[in-house]
């Protein structure tokens, strides 16, 4: 399952390492096989691991061979072996046998368009130390959760809401629209969460953060059903039987 958390601080401030560690500890149930943290100039990333692929390797956060990029990743990339082969032909070298390094190299090679090639369930974050930018993304159906909050103290993200509880600059005020959603539908819709200052990244969306500015993009739309020539009576019966 795994769990991820991070804090990107603006210039003049430093990431809240204590809050990141606290959140990582709260995610222990998502990753009982190990944990890791990396502290950089403006970024602090942490990961809880449930070992499934490359049991002895692929510990996270994972850093690229060039040292510029760092990733924390929750999920599984089903076609990582095919992607690894393609990247190998492009000259990328690997020092692990898992899908984490493949995902990071795929992002290095294609940037945000790497999402077009992924078959899997995932929530991940890539920090570019040179450009001081963060890229986070969630899988097409939204099997893997990802929450974030932007404040003047920077951007924070995590796999679960409670993991953000250590960041004292995030209010725990309730979003009343979310309350209405829950009682009306037993589900909180859109990008809302129960907290007014925390949002969830919707499925099939990515987020780019740089210079304290966020841009969000939808990278996939479910295909429309194939048109049919069935008449209204037939369709009514199908709907009734369903």
Q: Which of 2, 24, 44, 114 is flagged as catalytic?
A: 2
Residues in the chain: 242
Q: What three-state secondary structure class fits 103?
A: helix
Radius of gyration in angstroms for the set of CA atoms belonging to the chain, rounded to a whole number: 20
Closest to 144 measured CA to CA, from 124, 128, 166, 127: 124
Residue 114 is among the residues annotated as catalytic for this protein: no
- The set of residues, in sequence order, having a beta carbon less than 8 Å from that of 55 and lying 6+ positions away, is none
Phi, then psi, of 96 in degrees rounded to 5: -140, 180
| CA pair distance 147, 193, nearest whole angstrom | 9
Q: Which residues are catalytic?
A: 2
């Amino acid at each position: 399952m795994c769990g991820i958390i991070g804090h990107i601080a603006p210039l003049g401030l430093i990431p809240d390492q204590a809050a990141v560690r606290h959140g990582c500890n709260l995610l222990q149930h998502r990753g009982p096989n190990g944990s890791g943290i990396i502290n950089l100039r403006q970024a602090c990333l942490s990961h809880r691991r449930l070992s499934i692929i490359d049991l002895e390797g692929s510990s996270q956060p994972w850093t690229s061979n060039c040292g510029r990029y760092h990733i924390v990743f929750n999920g599984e990339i089903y076609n990582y072996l095919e992607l690894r082969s393609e990247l190998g032909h492009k000259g990328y070298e690997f020092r692990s046998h898992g899908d984490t390094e493949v995902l990071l190299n795929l992002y290095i090679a294609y940037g945000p368009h790497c999402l077009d090639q992924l078959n899997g369930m995932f929530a991940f974050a890539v920090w570019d130390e040179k450009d001081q930018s963060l890229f986070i993304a969630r899988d097409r159906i939204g099997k893997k959760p990802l929450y974030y909050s932007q404040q003047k103290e920077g951007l924070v993200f995590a796999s679960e809401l409670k993991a953000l509880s250590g960041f004292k600059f995030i209010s725990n005020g309730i979003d009343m629209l979310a309350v209405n959603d829950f009682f009306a539908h037993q589900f909180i819709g859109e990008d809302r969460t129960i907290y007014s200052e925390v949002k969830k990244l919707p499925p099939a969306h990515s987020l780019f953060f740089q210079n304290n500015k966020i841009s969000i993009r939808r990278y996939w739309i479910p295909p429309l059903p194939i048109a049919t020539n069935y008449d209204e009576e037939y369709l009514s019966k199908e709907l009734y039987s369903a």
